[in-house]
Chains A and B, each alone.
Chain A
Amino acid sequence: MARHFGDDWLIPALDPFNESWFTAGKITVQSCDDCGVFQHPPEDVCGSCQGTALSFVECSGEGTVESVAVVHHPVHPGLSDHCPYAIVVVSLDGAPGANAIGNILNRDPGDISIGQRVRAVFEPAKDAKTGADLLIPQWEVV
Chain B
Amino acid sequence: MHGQAVVAGVGESTYYVRGRSPDSEFQLTCTAIRRAVEDAGLDLAKVDGFVSYMDQRNDPLRLAHALGIDELRWSNTCWAGGGNNAAAAVQLADAAVSGGYADTVVAFRGLAQGQFGRFGRPRGLSNAAQGDMGWKAPYGLLSPAQECALHTARYMHDHGISQEALCDISLACYANAQLNPRALRNGRPLTREEYHESRWIVEPFHLFDCCPENDGAAAIVVTTPERAKDLKKSGVPILACAQGLGPKYGFHAFQEKYLSGMFYGNVGEAIWQRAGVKPSDVDVLQLYENFTGPVMIALAEMGFCEPGEVEAFVANGALEGPNAKLPFNTSGGNIGEAYIHGFELVNEAVRQVRGDSTCQAKDVELSLVVGGPGYAPGSAVLFNRA
Q: Which residues of A contact B (CB under 8 A)?
A: 4-5, 9-15, 18, 22, 40-41, 47, 66-73, 75-76, 79, 82, 84-85, 87, 89, 91, 96-99, 101-103, 114, 127-129, 136
Contacts and interface: CB of A to CB of B under 8 A. Distances in A.
A6 to B, nearest CB: 11
B162 interface: no
Contacts of A66: 154, 256, 259
B138 A87 contact: no
A40 B255 contact: yes
Given A66-B259, A127-B128, A87 B139 contact: yes
A58 B169 CA distance: 44
Contacts of A82: 140
Q: Which 4 interchain pairs have the tightest Cβ spacing?
A: A12-B134, A13-B128, A69-B149, A67-B154
Interface centre among A10, A22, A97, A101 (most CB of B within 10 A): A10
A136 B121 CA distance: 24
A61 B255 CA distance: 17
Given A13-B134, A66-B259, A72-B200, A103 B127 contact: no
B256 A129 contact: no
A69 B137 contact: no
A99 B254 contact: yes
B312 interface: no
B386 interface: no
A99 B259 CA distance: 9
Nearest to A97: B256
Interface of A is mostly: loop
A67 B204 CA distance: 11
A19 to B, nearest CB: 11
B136 interface: yes
B140 A71 contact: yes
A71 B146 contact: yes
Contacts of A128: 127
B245 interface: no
B250 to A, nearest CB: 8
A12 B132 CA distance: 10
A18 B128 CA distance: 13
Interface string B114-143: 000000011001011111101111111111
B254 A89 contact: yes
Contacts of B255: 40, 97-99
A77 to B, nearest CB: 11
A13 B129 CA distance: 5
Interface in B137-165: 137-143, 145-146, 149-151, 153-154, 157
A72 B135 CA distance: 21
Given A11-B138, A13-B130, A114-B154, A67 B202 contact: no
B256 A101 contact: no
Given A13-B134, A71-B140, A98-B256, 5 more contacts: A10-B128, A69-B146, A73-B202, A76-B142, A101-B254
A80 B153 CA distance: 23
A47 B129 contact: no
A138 B71 CA distance: 58
Interface string B333-373: 00000000000000000000000000000000000000000
Contact of A18 (B135, B150, B247): B135
A12 B203 contact: no
Contact of B252 (A41, A72, A75, A127): A41
Interface string B61-94: 0000000000000000000000000000000000
B129 A69 contact: no
A91 B255 CA distance: 8
A102 B135 CA distance: 9
A9 B202 contact: no
Nearest to A136: B138
Nearest to B204: A69
